[in-house]
């Protein structure tokens, strides 16, 4: 009897299993189709497919991340933020998801302000005979369509320039595409390779990282990020980026990624014992004959012996001495001999990712005062070498070390930094902490003689005075 009962229920069990398998396959197909819609920038279709998957399985983290990406592309920032937080609540969060939460929190708050301002500025209803203005959603959709069209045109120009090996024009065009349509990962992927061709690996890392944030499933983004880290000399980060792309890659893509992993591993193994991996830096201007280079200069004999390490005590002493000399508007003589890379290396060592103790604030201020005191000199001194990390450190250090004692100096430094090449792209990737610091610095000197410059810088930083 037991055997008969079991045999009688087997078809029902098999049917249920078949139904579950069919539902699972349908979810996989819809999720993959949503990814394809995203690549084609057909976001409404992608959103519909993601909704269908999540209706059946609300714990599908891949579908939630794709829907978050789609919602962000449609400027539905609050919904995208909700999806990212759900992914973290499901235990699938990582550094990329955390970065997305921070970015979307900022974007959602900004959009809320815009919506409230638009609502407050809405005039009284027009007479019945007059046509009603288009709804806000229609205006947003029109603006998004115009942005996508302009981005597509810029991307086409960039691709044409890239094929002609005109990498500067290609990078400018791809950057324009990023500004017009900042939610599309491929624009940042293209920008990264153009910047690599221009030997600007730090900027390439920034662009490639944004690509992976927007589309974690895009293998090419992880390959670009690994290549940029490798060119920059961040060997462990390069290997990690290549490895992140492996599970997503086709057989051919896996071969490229494995070659990148092997290159990074060989470089790591070639490092002498006890030597830290460091980013390669451009050679500074050679010191004049008979004048020894400071120990924190990349080209000095002591720097070569240190292989990337900085004698922080001597660097700080040099900074205080030069700052106390109150050099003119250009770069101080000692500083101009170092090149920006020498200054950057010593400053970031002192800053220690914000962990420098309070008793080093005077040293931080002395370093900041070494930078050229007029816009043209600072732009020429930094060139294209500014990285996301360095810009963040300079802004936060200005708030911490300069603002309390000299608000005009802090604001002046920030105003000059906004003129540095590719400032807009770098600022795009910084978070709320840097925005708060910029607002505090600019507000601290908003009543001074440079009110117009401060207002212009506030606009570039996206902060309100």
For 406-452, write each residue's pLDDT tens digit.
999 999 999 999 998 878 877 877 778 998 999 999 998 876 657 88
Name the DSSP letter for residue 329: S
Name the DSSP letter for residue 60: -
Q: Find out whether 189 and 211 touch, Cβ atoms under 8 Å.
A: yes
Q: Which tops the pLDDT comparison, 1 or 111?
A: 111
Q: How far is CA 227 from CA 85, 185, 364, in A?
A: 30, 17, 33
pLDDT tens-digit readout, 266-281 = 888 887 665 555 544 3
* Phi and psi, residue 223, nearest 5°: -65, -45
Q: Return the H-helix or E-strand segment holding 219.
A: helix 219-232
Average pLDDT over residues 344-372: 88
Q: Determine the Cα–Cα distance for residues 299 and 288; give it in Å rounded to an integer.
A: 13
pLDDT at 192: 93
110-119, 213-222, 250-259 — which is least confidently predicted? 110-119
Average pLDDT over residues 315-336: 48
Q: Determine the Cα–Cα distance for residues 318 and 224; give it in Å rounded to an integer.
A: 38
78-92, 302-316, 333-347 — which is least confidently predicted? 302-316
What's the full length of the chain, in residues?
Answer: 465
Average pLDDT over residues 143-153: 82
Q: pLDDT averaged over the chain?
A: 77
Q: Find out whether 87 and 61 touch, Cβ atoms under 8 Å.
A: yes
Other CB atoms within 10 Å distance of the CB of residue 9: 10
Identify the CA nearest to 154 among candidates 194, 193, 181, 185: 181
Q: Is the pLDDT of residue 331 over 60?
A: no
Confidence of residue 137 (pLDDT cuts 50, 70, 90): low
Q: How far is CA 108 from CA 69, 93, 325, in A?
A: 14, 20, 47
Reported in sequence order, the residue ranges of 128-237 that DSSP labels E, i.e. its strands, are none
Q: Is the pLDDT of residue 177 over 70?
A: yes
> What share of the chain has pLDDT > 90, as a percent?
25
Confidence of residue 295 (pLDDT cuts 50, 70, 90): very low
Confidence of residue 129 (pLDDT cuts 50, 70, 90): low
Q: Is the pLDDT of residue 303 over 50?
A: no
Average pLDDT over residues 327-337: 46
Q: Determine the Cα–Cα distance for residues 96 and 211; give it in Å rounded to an integer.
A: 11
pLDDT at 285: 31
* Phi and psi, residue 446, nearest 5°: -70, -20
Name the DSSP letter for residue 451: H
Maximum mean pLDDT: which of 58-62, 140-144, 192-196: 192-196
pLDDT at 277: 57
Q: Determine the Cα–Cα distance for residues 422 and 385; give it in Å rounded to an integer.
A: 10
For residues 200-214, b (16+ Cβ closer than 10 Å) or e, as one string? Answer: bbbbbbbbbbbbbbb
Average pLDDT over residues 95-109: 83
Q: Is the pLDDT of residue 306 over 90?
A: no
Helices 312-324, 333-351: axis angle to 10 degrees equals 130
Name the DSSP letter for residue 292: P
63-67, 117-121, 402-406 — which is least confidently predicted? 117-121
Q: Determine the Cα–Cα distance for residues 266 and 464; give it in Å rounded to an integer.
A: 49
Q: Is the pLDDT of residue 115 over 80?
A: no
Token pair in block for residue 248 = 């997503």
Q: Is the pLDDT of residue 3 over 50?
A: no
Q: Determine the Cα–Cα distance for residues 213 and 97; give it in Å rounded to an integer.
A: 8
Name the DSSP letter for residue 271: S
Q: Determine the Cα–Cα distance for residues 253 and 248; give it in Å rounded to an integer.
A: 9
Write down the residue that tokens 């996989």 correspond to: 28
Q: Which tops the pLDDT comparison, 408 or 332?
A: 408
Average pLDDT over residues 92-121: 79
The upper half-sphere exposure of residue 75, i.e. CA atoms within 13 Å in the direction of its Cβ, equals 19
Confidence of residue 85 (pLDDT cuts 50, 70, 90): confident
pLDDT at 287: 31
Reported in sequence order, the residue ranges of 339-444 that DSSP labels E, i.e. its strands, are none
Give burial (CB, 10 Å; 0-12/13-18/19+) of 440. middle
Q: Which tops the pLDDT comparison, 246 or 334?
A: 246
Q: Which tops the pLDDT comparison, 180 or 324?
A: 180
Contacts 24+ apart (CB under 8 A), 99-103: 99/213, 100/68, 100/213, 102/431, 102/432, 103/213, 103/431
Average pLDDT over residues 91-113: 81
pLDDT at 40: 79
Identify the CA nearest to 428 among candidates 188, 155, 122, 232: 188
pLDDT at 161: 92
Q: Determine the Cα–Cα distance for residues 219 and 168; give it in Å rounded to an integer.
A: 25
Phi-psi region of 41 (alpha: psi -120 to 50; beta: other; left: phi over 0): left
Confidence of residue 298 (pLDDT cuts 50, 70, 90): very low
pLDDT tens-digit readout, 214-243 = 999 999 999 999 999 999 888 999 999 999
pLDDT at 132: 57
Q: Determine the Cα–Cα distance for residues 144 and 137; give it in Å rounded to an integer.
A: 10
pLDDT at 307: 35
pLDDT at 153: 92
pLDDT at 290: 33
Q: Find out whether 231 and 196 touch, Cβ atoms under 8 Å.
A: yes
Token pair in block for residue 7 = 């045999």
Token pair in block for residue 29 = 């197909």
For residues 104-118, b (16+ Cβ closer than 10 Å) or e, as one string? Answer: bbbbbeeeeeeeeee
Q: Determine the Cα–Cα distance for residues 367 and 347; give it in Å rounded to an integer.
A: 7
Write down the residue that tokens 């890659």 correspond to: 249
């Amino acid at each position: 009897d037991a055997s008969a009962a079991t045999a009688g229920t087997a078809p029902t069990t098999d049917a249920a299993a078949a139904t579950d398998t069919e539902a699972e396959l349908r979810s996989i197909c819809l999720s993959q189709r949503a990814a394809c819609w995203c690549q084609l920038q057909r976001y409404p279709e992608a959103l519909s497919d993601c909704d269908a998957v999540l209706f059946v399985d609300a714990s599908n983290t891949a579908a939630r991340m794709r829907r978050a990406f789609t919602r962000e592309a449609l400027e539905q920032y609050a919904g995208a933020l909700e999806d990212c937080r759900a992914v973290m609540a499901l235990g699938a969060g990582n550094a990329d998801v955390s970065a997305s939460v921070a970015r979307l929190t900022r974007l959602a708050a900004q959009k809320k302000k815009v919506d409230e301002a638009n609502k407050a500025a809405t005039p009284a209803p027009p007479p019945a005979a007059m046509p009603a203005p288009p709804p806000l959603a229609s205006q947003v959709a029109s603006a998004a369509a115009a942005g996508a069209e302009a981005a597509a045109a810029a991307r086409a120009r960039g691709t044409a320039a890239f094929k002609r090996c005109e990498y500067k024009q290609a990078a400018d065009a791809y950057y324009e595409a990023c500004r017009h349509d900042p939610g599309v990962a491929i624009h940042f992927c293209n920008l990264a390779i153009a910047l690599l061709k221009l030997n600007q690996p730090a900027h390439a890392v920034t662009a490639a990282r944004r690509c992976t944030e927007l589309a974690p499933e895009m293998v090419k983004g992880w390959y670009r990020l690994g290549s940029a880290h490798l060119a920059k000399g961040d060997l462990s980060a390069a290997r990690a980026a290549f490895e992140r792309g492996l599970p997503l890659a086709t057989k051919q893509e896996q071969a490229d990624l494995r070659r990148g992993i092997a290159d990074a591993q060989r470089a790591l193994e070639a490092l002498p014992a006890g030597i830290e991996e460091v980013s390669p830096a451009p050679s500074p201007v050679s010191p004049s004959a008979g004048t020894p280079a400071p120990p924190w200069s990349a080209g000095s004999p002591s720097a070569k012996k240190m292989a990337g390490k900085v004698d922080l005590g001597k660097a700080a002493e040099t900074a205080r001495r030069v700052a106390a000399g109150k050099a003119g508007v250009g770069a101080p003589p000692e500083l101009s001999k170092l090149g920006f890379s020498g200054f950057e290396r010593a400053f970031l060592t002192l800053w220690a990712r914000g962990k420098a103790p309070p008793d080093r604030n005077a040293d931080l201020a002395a370093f900041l005062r070494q930078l050229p005191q007029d816009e043209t000199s600072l732009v020429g001194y930094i060139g294209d070498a500014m990285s996301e990390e360095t810009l963040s450190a300079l802004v936060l250090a200005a708030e911490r070390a300069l603002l309390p004692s000299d608000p005009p100096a802090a604001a002046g430094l920030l105003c000059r930094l906004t003129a540095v090449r590719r400032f807009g792209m770098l600022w795009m990737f910084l978070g709320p902490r840097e925005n708060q610091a910029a607002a505090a610095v600019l507000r601290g000197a908003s009543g001074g003689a440079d009110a117009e410059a401060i207002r212009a810088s506030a606009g570039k930083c996206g902060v309100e005075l």
